[in-house]
């Protein structure tokens, strides 16, 4: 067969473990079946069919119909039931399954194969009329929603009214006759909304569902999810058709989801939830509150309803054995769906479980220590970008808290923000720069853009495996779910709880680690690298080749960076120092001076200030290299705006305000990014760089004298395009060094080098390396100048570029390896050809981006430099890049 792969009942059509072909779910079902686990028989229509379906204008080839017929025959043979048979009917589930899991993003239809005749057959075969009609109403509701795309609200409403009329609160109180009545109402609803009766032909049902699953691949929510997670559209989804097993066949039946380890904290304990007499969707949808899997978890939570371990000890024992078998087989923590049908266990899914960064670290370190995986594998198991979650603040234990209520600790981290009640508002207010907390009764895939935009997510309903919890953990957003005492009205934009009201725009704080919800903002504290984090970092450091430095310009930044493991400063921008306190007046005086004498007078005032800046930084970074970049931005950025500012400068410079204003006007530039900035400042006003170089060397000698440990300054000239520019600027720096060393009678080692941030510099790197002792790739400007895209204005249109695949990712975030990368590797090559030991690094934002770091490893740079909070991410990414080479 070409597109259909059968599994279960001892049959396997191959493709086992091939996620690209069968999708994650299909591949793992086939694999579980092949290692002897109880998997209901079924077949997978491959992802290749999805691609072809869209290529052919959303049609199926005739050959697929024949293959699917064979697939159904296989299920019939194993189950000894017949699809559409009124006496012994086979029911199937139809589920999507892409290469990577996209939780809640795509469609599922359960109980397919029921119609007015087969429902009677099912009732007889199961000897349970209530169960049969419950299944039928579930099927109609799901099919109407997913396949026919009718308004599901009307169906839910009909069910609510039916329960209300009977005085019931739970679905389980509905009798066979009640369900039967509801089914009639549902069928009428379908006919009314769809214009045709509910399809009775089981084959029509099946093809409708298969089409809907393929169709869901191009749904808006799936597209958004793919964009957020970098999943290419051409991967397609597979469709899995599988014999139904029933968790809703009475009290010896159940359904549940489980993880082989705690996905939130990473502890080695089975973790999960189950519901007696229910179908899988009930657990995920958060309609009924599920029970705990283990006795220990139930006791810890202080919950009453029996755990599965207590309620169904035998099946639980089997399940636990399966957990161990699966973890050993896949050598990773598994996320599992199972169903118990009349005391018989069935496995419906397994996959690598999504986990918080904290859990990822603990699981990787534990598994390496258990000998299940190697240390190298442990390093590769943790997504560097996910570490971000741990590098963020948690609630200050000392801070005052005005606790409103408590829900489930669904995704760790603390967040404060303004309350919003819908995803669109969350997105809007976040885009306007506000921190928001998205508050929902429960979330659904339609909310995904709002969840992404929000700082935190709070729901009133749903367990630890609800949509909100799973998605928030994947995104690294703090989340408190199932805060049941919240009465939320999204319509009136208000939530009520404990006699209090919180309206849209009011501030709430949530703690995803404890589940606490607090009114107002609560202070937070910085994280530290300890425990498993520290261990994994040590292992990473053992294998990485690239050094990791930090972009830091204050002593505090330097301290943070050093604590996070930075091995030096890769970029100390000096311009911000010029704004501090009273310095700005001296800077303005310098800029507006009409001659060198005026500039020198102002620079003399700046020298001691600049020296003390460098002294403070060198003290923190003692013994490590510090790359100090001389002044870079266009001068007009420092100009006065207000009258009072002009007056202040006028007084300091002894000039009149009008002259100053005229000078300021003269400094206006049409295109300042390509204007009088970078080394062009040094070429025209060498005294500026002279002062900065002097400050650097005086500070270095001061620190060396005081601490005995000399820093290693690397003086960096920005925006160089030609050898001659660098030659001139190096002469200025060397002269300053010579003077200071003579004055002080002491020397320090130093280097003079340049940024490579213009295409010309990259091309002429061979010549530039004759002068420069190091290169640091300024990939922010290099991207801007290579692409001809302004880094300050790109946000407006880059989204469209990424959406249409022109650039795979935002090139200012992740290096455009093909274009800008070619310049980097060419410059590295040419620079090395001239000067074999030239030091090469990167200090653009890309230095903290894992994909770009992998590129830096390939090109053989010596170091990457990232913002202090990204240093651990860079350390791990560098280790992974080294291992993958």
Nearest to 489 by CA among 502, 480, 508, 472: 502
DSSP for 450-510 reads HHHHSSEEEESS--TTSHHHHHHHHHT--EEE--TT-EEETTTTEEEETTEEEETT-EEEE
Question: Which segment (322-330, 480-488, 708-716, 771-779) binds Mg ion by CB under 5 A?
Answer: 771-779
The C-alpha atoms of residue 641 and residue 661 are separated, in whole angstroms, by 10
- Least distance from ligand PEP to the Cβ atom of residue 862, Å: 16
Which of these is catalytic: 497, 558, 572, 843?
A: 843
- Judged by beta carbon, residue 363 or residue 571, the one nearer ligand PEP is 571
Q: Which of 504, 781, 849, 862 binds Mg ion (CB under 5 A)?
A: 781
The token pair that represents 606 in the structure block = 């700046």
- Judged by beta carbon, residue 225 or residue 777, the one nearer Mg ion is 777
Binding residues for ligand PEP restricted to 629-658, rule: CB under 6 A: 632
β-bridge partners, 714: 627, 751
The answer to whether 632 touches 677, Cβ cutoff 8 Å, is: yes
From the list ligand PEP, Mg ion, none, partner contacted by residue 571 (C-beta under 5 to 8 A by kind): ligand PEP
The answer to whether 484 touches 498, Cβ cutoff 8 Å, is: no
Question: Which segment (419-427, 445-453, 553-561, 779-787) binds ligand PEP by CB under 6 A?
Answer: 779-787
Binding mask 750-769 for Mg ion (x = CB under 5 A): -------x------------
Number of residues interacting with ligand PEP: please give it, by CB under 6 A.
10
Q: Does 627 bind ligand PEP (CB under 6 A)?
A: no
- Least distance from Mg ion to the Cβ atom of residue 781, Å: 4
- Judged by beta carbon, residue 11 or residue 813, the one nearer ligand PEP is 813
Q: Count CA atoms within 13 Å of residue 576 on its CB side.
A: 11
Nearest to 394 by CA among 478, 483, 480, 470: 478
Q: Which long-range contacts (CB under 8 A, 24 or more apart) does 647-651 make?
A: 648/585, 649/585, 649/588, 649/589, 649/592
Q: Does 778 bind Mg ion (CB under 5 A)?
A: yes
From the list Mg ion, ligand PEP, none, partner contacted by residue 634 (C-beta under 5 to 8 A by kind): none
The token pair that represents 173 in the structure block = 């109180």
List all residues 6 or more positions away from 82 whose beta carbon is below 8 Å from its beta carbon. Answer: 76, 88, 89, 90
Binding residues for ligand PEP restricted to 840-859, rule: CB under 6 A: 843-844
The token pair that represents 151 in the structure block = 């308004």
Which of these is catalytic: 449, 467, 558, 572?
A: 467
Q: Which of 594, 722, 780, 858 binds ligand PEP (CB under 6 A)?
A: 780
- Judged by beta carbon, residue 757 or residue 845, the one nearer Mg ion is 757
The C-alpha atoms of residue 808 and residue 801 are separated, in whole angstroms, by 8
- Judged by beta carbon, residue 333 or residue 720, the one nearer Mg ion is 720
Binding residues for Mg ion restricted to 298-337, rule: CB under 5 A: none
From the list Mg ion, ligand PEP, none, partner contacted by residue 779 (C-beta under 5 to 8 A by kind): ligand PEP
Q: Does 722 bind ligand PEP (CB under 6 A)?
A: no
Q: Does 573 bind ligand PEP (CB under 6 A)?
A: yes
Question: Which segment (435-443, 773-781, 795-803, 855-863) binds Mg ion by CB under 5 A?
Answer: 773-781
The answer to whether 313 touches 295, Cβ cutoff 8 Å, is: no
Binding residues for ligand PEP restricted to 589-618, rule: CB under 6 A: none
- Least distance from Mg ion to the Cβ atom of residue 152, Å: 53
Q: Does 422 bind ligand PEP (CB under 6 A)?
A: no
Question: Which segment (203-211, 320-328, 777-785, 794-802) binds ligand PEP by CB under 6 A?
Answer: 777-785
From the list Mg ion, ligand PEP, none, partner contacted by residue 39 (C-beta under 5 to 8 A by kind): none
Active site residue 843: yes
818 burial type by CB count under 10 A (0-12 exposed, 13-18 middle, 19+ buried): exposed
B/e letters for 311-350, b = 16+ CB within 10 Å, e = fewer, are bbeebbebbbebbebbbeebebbbbbbbbbbeeebbbbbb
Q: Which residues bind Mg ion (CB under 5 A)?
A: 757, 778, 781
**Residues belonging to the active site:** 467, 843
Q: Which residues bind ligand PEP (CB under 6 A)?
A: 571, 573, 632, 757, 778-781, 843-844
């Amino acid at each position: 067969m070409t597109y259909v792969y059968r599994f279960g009942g001892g049959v396997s059509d191959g493709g086992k473990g091939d996620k690209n072909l069968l999708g994650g779910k299909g591949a793992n079902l086939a694999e579980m079946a092949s290692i002897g686990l109880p998997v209901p028989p079924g077949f997978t229509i491959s992802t290749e069919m999805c691609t072809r379906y869209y290529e052919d204008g959303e049609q199926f080839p005739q050959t697929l119909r024949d293959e699917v017929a064979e697939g159904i025959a296989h299920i019939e043979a194993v189950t000894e039931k017949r699809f559409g048979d009124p006496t012994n009917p086979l029911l199937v589930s139809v589920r999507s399954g892409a290469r990577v899991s996209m939780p809640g993003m795509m469609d599922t239809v359960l109980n397919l194969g029921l119609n007015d005749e087969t429902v009677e057959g099912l009732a007889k075969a199961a000897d349970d009329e209530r169960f049969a009609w419950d299944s039928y109403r579930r099927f109609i509701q799901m099919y109407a929603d997913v396949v026919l795309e009718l308004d599901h609200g009307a169906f839910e409403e009909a069910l609510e009214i039916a329960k209300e009329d009977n005085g019931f609160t739970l679905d389980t109180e509905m009798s066979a006759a009640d369900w039967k009545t509801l089914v009639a109402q549902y069928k009428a609803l379908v006919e009314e909304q769809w214009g045709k009766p509910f399809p009775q032909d089981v084959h029509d049902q099946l093809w409708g569902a298969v089409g809907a699953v393929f169709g869901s691949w191009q749904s808006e929510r799936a597209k958004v999810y793919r964009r957020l997670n970098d999943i290419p559209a051409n991967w397609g989804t597979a469709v899995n058709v599988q014999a139904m097993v029933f968790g809703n066949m009475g009290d010896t039946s159940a359904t549940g989801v489980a993880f082989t380890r705690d996905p939130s904290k990473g502890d080695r304990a089975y973790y999960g939830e189950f519901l007696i007499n229910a179908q899988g969707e009930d657990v995920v949808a958060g309609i009924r509150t599920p029970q705990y899997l283990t006795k220990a978890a139930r006791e810890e939570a202080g919950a009453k309803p029996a755990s599965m371990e207590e309620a169904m000890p035998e099946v639980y024992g089997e399940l636990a054995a399966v957990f161990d078998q699966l973890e050993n087989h896949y050598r990773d923590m598994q996320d599992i769906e199972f169903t118990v049908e009349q005391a018989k266990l069935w496995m419906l899914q397994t996959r690598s479980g999504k986990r918080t960064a904290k859990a990822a670290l603990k699981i990787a370190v534990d598994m390496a220590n258990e000998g299940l995986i190697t240390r190298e594998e442990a390093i590769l198991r943790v997504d560097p970008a996910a570490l971000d979650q741990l590098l963020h603040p948690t609630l200050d234990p000392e801070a005052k808290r005005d606790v409103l209520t408590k829900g489930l600790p669904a995704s760790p981290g603390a967040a404060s923000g303004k309350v919003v009640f819908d995803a669109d508002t969350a997105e809007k207010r976040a885009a306007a720069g506000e921190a928001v907390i998205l508050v929902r009764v429960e979330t659904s895939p339609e909310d995904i853009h709002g969840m992404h935009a929000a700082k935190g997510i709070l729901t009133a309903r749903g367990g630890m495996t609800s949509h909100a919890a799973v998605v928030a953990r994947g995104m690294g957003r703090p989340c408190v779910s199932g805060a049941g005492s919240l009465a939320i009205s999204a319509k009136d934009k208000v939530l009520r709880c404990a006699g209090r009201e919180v309206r849209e725009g009011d501030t709430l704080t949530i703690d995803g680690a404890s589940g606490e919800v607090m009114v107002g903002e609560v202070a937070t504290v910085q994280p530290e690298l300890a425990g498993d984090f520290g261990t994994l970092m040590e292992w990473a450091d053992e294998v990485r080749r690239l050094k990791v430095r930090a972009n830091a310009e204050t002593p505090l930044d330097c301290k943070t960076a050093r604590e996070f493991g930075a091995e030096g400063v890769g970029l100390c921008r000096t311009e911000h120092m010029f704004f501090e306190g009273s310095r700005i007046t001296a800077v303005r005086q310098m800029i507006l001076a009409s001659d060198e004498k005026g500039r020198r007078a102002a620079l003399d005032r700046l020298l001691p200030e600049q020296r003390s800046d460098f002294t403070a930084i060198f003290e923190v970074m003692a013994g490590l290299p510090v790359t100090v970049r001389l002044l870079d931005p266009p001068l007009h950025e420092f100009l006065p705006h207000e009258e009072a500012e002009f007056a202040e400068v006028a007084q300091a410079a002894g000039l009149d305000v009008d002259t100053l204003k005229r000078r300021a006007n003269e400094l206006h530039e049409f295109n300042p990014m390509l204007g009088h900035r970078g080394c062009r400042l040094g070429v025209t006003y060498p005294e500026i760089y002279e002062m900065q170089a002097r400050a650097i060397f005086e500070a270095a000698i001061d620190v060396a004298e005081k601490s005995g440990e000399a820093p290693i300054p690397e003086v960096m000239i920005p925006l160089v395009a030609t050898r001659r520019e660098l030659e001139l600027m190096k002469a200025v720096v060397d002269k300053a060094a010579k003077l200071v060393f003579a004055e002080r009678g002491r020397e320090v080692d130093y280097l003079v080098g340049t940024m490579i941030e213009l295409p010309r510099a990259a091309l002429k790197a061979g010549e530039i390396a004759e002068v420069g002792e190091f290169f640091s790739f300024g990939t922010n400007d290099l991207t801007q100048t290579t692409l001809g895209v302004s880094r300050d204005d790109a946000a407006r249109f880059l989204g469209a570029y990424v959406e249409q695949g022109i650039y795979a990712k935002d090139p200012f975030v992740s290096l455009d390896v093909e274009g800008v990368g070619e310049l980097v590797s060419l410059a590295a090559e040419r620079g090395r050809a001239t000067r074999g030991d030239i030091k090469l690094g990167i200090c653009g934002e890309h230095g903290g981006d894992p994909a770009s770091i992998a590129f830096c490893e390939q090109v053989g740079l010596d170091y990457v430099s990232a913002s202090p909070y990204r240093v651990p991410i860079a350390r791990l990414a560098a280790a992974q890049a080294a291992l993958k080479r």
